[in-house]
Structure 1
């Protein structure tokens, strides 16, 4: 999956050092938007385990974890994931993502979300993609709006983020939205 500036690729074990560098470089920046992470999370071993779990998740059709890469430099600048896949009548996945702070404001995340949604509908045959964002995370709210997601409501005390049960705005996009 790619466009002229970025491409998405499922992460493999050779990406662990770059993923660790991304996590370390953006640790303080991402902390307000993520669960509390233990020190062990910020090790090569844990990043390798996370990638291995992602590979296993794809093999069992439960999750798909992608790196976001700059096309011209072949550099990992972010991560986007489809998790909690539900088949049967639901055909749904949750989407989550993060981007290197140095790459914010360049449109890369919006393009990554669009590419990932297209993959979910075209390759995985999913019908619905959901995303949840804290109301104070204005850049992420803009990304989802630009990528064609619709706001569906507010989930109070939805996820434990940085040690606090945070409200999240719920968004979704369905396969029919692509055709409209």
Structure 2
């Protein structure tokens, strides 16, 4: 499934998962602008060239964060973005998901296919044990997406993340590799006991 040479991290019937890179700047920023109304106030993505470069600097290919794109298989167009943030190794083996669909592709199932690929990549290639998603309670599309993939609701945290100028409460959802039915070798940083 993973093809480092092509940059492709996985593919399904309609989408390809790959890492974001500098060459994506123009299309990514165009998609962000077109999706501003869809994302507000739930998601804040880079809107300028400088913000895009700062965004790229956060990612380091699985060491502490991954920046991924869900692209249409037939055209290569960027349908959405998925980040695996705050990757912690050792006894935790955990990452925190952030994601957004882009107009005009939202609501067509592309992000669901992409999230399935992200789960496989995170659990098989990155060898994480657990992924978390923090979702604002009014974000019904996001809740539906994680429920479809078997995430469990773990609670509510008031004032968890700073979004749209204020600290906002979020529902906490999580999935483990066992829950997803994806097993693999443990990461070398996992202690023996």
Matched, 1:7 2:16: yes
More helix by share: 1
User: Relative to structure 1, is the Cα distance of residues 163 and 49 closer, same or farther in structure 2, using a 3 angstrom cutoff?
Assistant: closer
Counterpart contact for 1:155–1:168, Cα < 8 Å: yes
- Pairwise CA distance, 1:72: 0.9
2-structure distance, mates of 1:53, 1:72: 29
Counterpart contact for 2:43–2:100, Cα < 8 Å: no
User: Relative to structure 1, is the Cα distance of residues 157 and 49 closer, same or farther in structure 2, using a 3 angstrom cutoff?
Assistant: closer
- Pairwise CA distance, 1:134: 0.5
Count the aligned residue pairs. 173
**1:124 equivalent in structure 2:** 126
| SS at 1:66 equivalent | strand
- Pairwise CA distance, 1:105: 1.7
Counterpart contact for 1:13–1:52, Cα < 8 Å: no
Matched, 1:44 2:12: no
**2:160 equivalent in structure 1:** 158
User: Relative to structure 1, is the Cα distance of residues 164 and 53 closer, same or farther in structure 2, using a 3 angstrom cutoff?
Assistant: closer
- Map 1:54-69 onto structure 2 (within 5 A): 54=59, 57-58=60-61, 61-69=63-71
1-structure distance, mates of 2:73, 2:106: 16
2-structure distance, mates of 1:84, 1:136: 24
Deviation >6 Å, runs of 4+ = none
What are the ranges of 5 or more consecutive residues in structure 2 without an aligned counterpart? 1-9, 183-193
Deviating more after overlay: 165-174 vs 45-54: 45-54
- Taking only aligned residues, the RMSD between alpha carbons, in angstroms, comes to 1.6
**1:19 equivalent in structure 2:** 28
TM-score where L is the length of structure 2: 0.84
**1:140 equivalent in structure 2:** 142
Cα offsets for 1:103-153 (capped at 9, x unmatched): 122111111111101101000110000001011000000000001111111
Counterpart contact for 1:5–1:71, Cα < 8 Å: yes
